[in-house]
């Protein structure tokens, strides 16, 4: 009957599934019994995987921490900043060439036409010489900037204050100087406040001491001996509205590159066709730093994978020794009806268990340090969930790869010869 045949086939599939489940559970129990019988051997074999997995977790943590640190440094400079600079070109003959410099009107036009620009500041550069006492005379850099320069360049006012819009509008002769200048000229930052300095014979009152938020690796217009004064005052020294650079702060960090292109288009529309203007942003620097950190992490991961490979070789050697010491057991199991597939699976499961348990312990150890730092300090060390997944998957793969040879050798043994083995 069709119904009887269908029920018979279903029963046979269920019985086969139950048998395979029972066989696998027996294999797992045999592996556990084997570990209990030789705990020291099992622990020493798993030690290589513990070290390798812990190393992998730590390498990823160190790589992510380094990447985070570098990105914070760059962000401290100002990731939403755009620097506009005149690069060359102009009009006239070779003997009477006229440069096409940027002006304060360009700054106003850009801020009016591009809503993405939050704040801006021109930079008017001058040089002067100043006595520092004991007959020492040094060159100093004088920058005429607006009151927004502090925000745009992400500066830190250590002592005192930065000049404000009222100082700029009333042409007040005030100055903000760098920490090295204050120490060398007046002895300390605090001592420099309200002191008088002379630029081209004109007295200025020091109202603040500033520094850059992070080290800019030399990529900055600010030198050690730098004095900042209001732009409205600085332009009387030069007698021109021409500026060297204009800095812009962009509202959204994700639109920095697009806004930089818009700034160039606006300024070019206001100048001669052959004049060249360029912008500089830190977006590409952040991407490059991230790529470098990722590349270093990958290299370190490859190095740590050698430790895992060494652990895998250790597992293979121990499993080969285990197969030799259990030849009679293999013969008895085959005589009782165990197939080559079941023998192979038994020893393969043992190898994977050793590798995976070592990987789990190593992962816990690898996570212990960053989690402890997070728990006991305010520093948030980044932890990657993917590193845990990679460590456990790699540990399993190592067990399978390096356990296949011993398992295959055990499965291929002749049962008769195995029973004769002493």
- Residue 130 pairs in a beta bridge with 138
**Rounded to whole angstroms, what are the CA distances from 313 to 30, 153, 303, 346?**
23, 56, 16, 19
Q: At what angle do helices 39-78 and 385-411 cross, to 10 degrees?
A: 150
Question: pLDDT by residue (tens digit) across 203-226?
Answer: 999 999 998 876 655 557 788 889
Predicted local distance difference test score (pLDDT) of residue 219? 58
Question: pLDDT by residue (tens digit) across 302-337?
Answer: 777 777 787 888 888 888 877 787 777 777 777 777
Q: Which residue has the higher pLDDT, 373 or 5?
A: 373
Predicted local distance difference test score (pLDDT) of residue 204? 93
Please give the Cα distance from 337 to 197 (Å, whole number): 100
Average pLDDT, the chain: 79
Q: CA angle, corner 264, sides to 263 and 268, nearest 5?
A: 120
Predicted TM-score (pTM) of the model is: 0.59
Please give the Cα distance from 238 to 387 (Å, whole number): 59
Task: Kindly state the tokens that stand for 11.
Answer: 């029963």
Q: Are strands 137-145 and 174-178 parallel, antiparallel or unpaired?
A: unpaired
Please give the Cα distance from 121 to 107 (Å, whole number): 8
Judged on CB neighbours under 10 Å (0-12, 13-18, 19+), 218 is exposed
Confidence of residue 393 (pLDDT cuts 50, 70, 90): confident
- For 246-273, what is the mean pLDDT? 88
Q: Is the pLDDT of residue 172 over 80?
A: yes
Question: pLDDT by residue (tens digit) across 6-65?
Answer: 545 544 543 444 344 445 566 666 666 666 666 777 777 778 788 888 888 887 787 777
Q: Are strands 196-199 and 202-212 parallel, antiparallel or unpaired?
A: antiparallel
Which DSSP letter does residue 274 get?
A: T
- For 284-294, what is the mean pLDDT? 74
Q: Where do runs of H (alpha helix) occur along 223-339?
A: 231-238, 256-269, 283-325, 327-335
């Amino acid at each position: 009957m069709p119904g009887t045949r269908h029920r018979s086939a279903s029963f046979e599939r269920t019985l086969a599934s139950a048998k395979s489940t029972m066989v696998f559970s027996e294999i797992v129990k045999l592996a556990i019994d084997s570990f209990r019988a030789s705990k020291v051997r099992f622990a020493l074999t798993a030690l290589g995987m513990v070290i390798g997995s812990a190393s992998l977790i730590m390498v990823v943590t160190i790589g992510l921490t380094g990447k985070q640190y570098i990105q914070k440094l760059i962000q401290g400079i100002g990731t939403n900043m755009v620097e506009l600079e005149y690069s060359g070109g102009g009009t006239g003959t070779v003997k009477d060439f006229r440069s096409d410099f940027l002006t304060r009107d360009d700054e106003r036009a850009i801020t009016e036409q591009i809503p993405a620009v939050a704040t801006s500041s021109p930079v008017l550069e001058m040089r002067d010489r100043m006595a520092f006492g004991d007959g020492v005379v040094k060159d100093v850099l004088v920058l005429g900037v607006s009151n927004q320069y502090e925000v745009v360049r992400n500066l830190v006012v250590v002592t005192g204050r930065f000049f404000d819009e009222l100082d700029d509008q009333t042409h007040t002769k005030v100055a903000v100087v760098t920490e090295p200048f204050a120490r060398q000229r007046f002895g300390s930052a605090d001592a420099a406040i309200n002191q008088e300095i002379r630029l081209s014979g004109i007295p200025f009152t020091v109202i603040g001491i500033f520094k850059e938020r992070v080290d800019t690796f030399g990529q900055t217009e600010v030198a050690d001996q730098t004095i900042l004064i209001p732009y409205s005052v600085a332009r009387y020294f030069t007698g021109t509205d021409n500026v060297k650079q204009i800095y812009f702060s962009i509202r959204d960090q994700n639109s920095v590159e697009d806004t930089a292109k818009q700034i160039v288009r606006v300024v070019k529309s206001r100048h001669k066709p052959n004049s060249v203007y360029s912008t500089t942003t830190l977006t590409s620097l952040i991407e490059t730093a991230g790529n470098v950190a990722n590349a270093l992490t990958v290299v370190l991961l490859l190095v740590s994978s050698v430790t895992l490979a060494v652990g895998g070789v250790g597992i293979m050697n121990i499993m080969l020794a285990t197969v030799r010491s259990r030849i009679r057991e293999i013969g008895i199991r085959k005589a009782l009806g165990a197939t080559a597939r079941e023998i192979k699976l038994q020893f393969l499961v043992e190898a994977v268990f050793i590798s995976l348990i070592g990987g789990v312990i190593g992962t816990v150890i690898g996570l212990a340090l960053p989690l402890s730092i997070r728990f006991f300090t305010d520093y948030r060390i980044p932890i990657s969930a993917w590193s845990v997944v990679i460590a456990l998957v790699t540990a399993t793969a190592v067990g399978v790869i390096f356990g296949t040879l011993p398992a295959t050798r055990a499965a291929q043994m002749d049962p008769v010869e195995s029973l004769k083995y002493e």
